[in-house]
Amino acid sequence: MNDAHGKLSDPATWLDQHGDSLYRFALLRVRNPTTAEDLVQETLLAAWRAKENFAGQATERTWLIAILKNKLIDHFRRNSRETPLPDIADTDDAIDALFAEHTDHWAHPPTAWSRPDDALEQAEFWRVFQDCLAGLPARQAQVFTLTEVDGLSTEELCKALAAQPSNVWVMLHRARLRLRECLEQRWFGATAENR
Amino acid sequence: MLSCKEVSLLLSKACDQDLPWRQRLAVRLHLLYCRGCTQFEKHLQVLRAVARRFAQSDDQAGMATLSTTARNRIRAALQRD
């Protein structure tokens, strides 16, 4: 029950206290409710079997999330063996539209964002960010989340997804272009006008 | 001369690994006269900062919650174990 004393509660209590957090964490990365539910179950079972390893330094939740991360990597490996990452298309219409047709220069050059640090403190910004992230094609969102949110290196990512580095870079780049565009349209561009 | 499309890919790549010096130089030269790509480079840093902060936040997939059915199924599985 109490993290403070480094003691663990039982799995049913974990489910009550951390089930939703684990589920959200998984859902963001797999984008499939059933898979996310299965991962929560696997995580709690694995945690219970490995309860001796709980060092008592981390909180229960941090410990459970760490186990979930391993389960996620296993899941991606399994998945990529079954359905390998397709060679990504050379062209992506939405991305091409960001650049002028013949010169490949910006069709609408990115503009200066005012006070991005302030945005991080605003709940509304995080809703916009989550919307933008959810609006990405699934693979791009996955690659972005694993790299930027979870801090996986390109090498680790390629291994987990059984993908070529060049594929991963292009996907990451497209994800960043899309996210940037979305944030500029929905937040940084919009608020500059309103202020 | 590199286009903005090419430079933006290299800037994105540079977030994850060091570029060879020739590419680094070509990118720097492009940035001297391209305001769009200069902004893009800054925005990449903002995206990274946003993602890092997001990593620490507790409600990552919005307000999604485990359904009662899923919760009961997981509870049953835990009891079996």
With CA atoms as reference, report the closest residue to B40 among A179, A180, A98, A108.
A180
Query: What value of ipTM does the predicted structure carry?
Result: 0.86
Same domain, A138 and A76: no
Where in the sequence is the domain holding B49, given as residue range(s)? Answer: 4-80
Comparison of pLDDT for A185 and B59, the residue scoring more: A185
Which chain B residues contact residue A176 at CB under 8 A? 12, 44, 47
Q: Which pLDDT tens digit goes with each residue over B55-64?
A: 877 655 567 7
Candidates B6, B7, B8: best to mutate against A (most CBs of A within 10 A) is: B8
Q: Which pLDDT tens digit goes with each residue over A118-177?
A: 999 998 999 899 899 989 988 888 889 889 988 888 888 888 888 888 888 999 999 999
Task: State the CATH number of the domain containing residue A45.
Answer: 1.10.1740.10
Q: Return d(Cα A88, Cα B8) in angstroms, integer.
A: 18
Find the Cα–Cα–Cα–Cα dihedral A134, A135, A137, A138, rounded to 10°: 10
Same domain, A61 and A151: no
pLDDT at residue A105 greater than cutoff 90:
yes
pLDDT at residue A87 greater than cutoff 70:
no
Instruction: Report yes or no: B11 and B2 within 8 Å, Cβ to Cβ.
Output: no
Instruction: Report yes or no: A36 and A26 within 8 Å, Cβ to Cβ.
Output: yes
Task: State the CATH number of the domain containing residue A127.
Answer: 1.10.10.10
Where in the sequence is the domain holding A29, given as residue range(s)? Answer: 11-82
Q: Give the one of A15, A37, A110 whose C-beta lies nearest to B40's C-beta.
A: A110
Query: Considering its fold, how many domains does chain A have in total?
Result: 2
Closest chain A residue to B43, measured at CA: A180
Q: Which two tokens stand for residue A161?
A: 């997804």
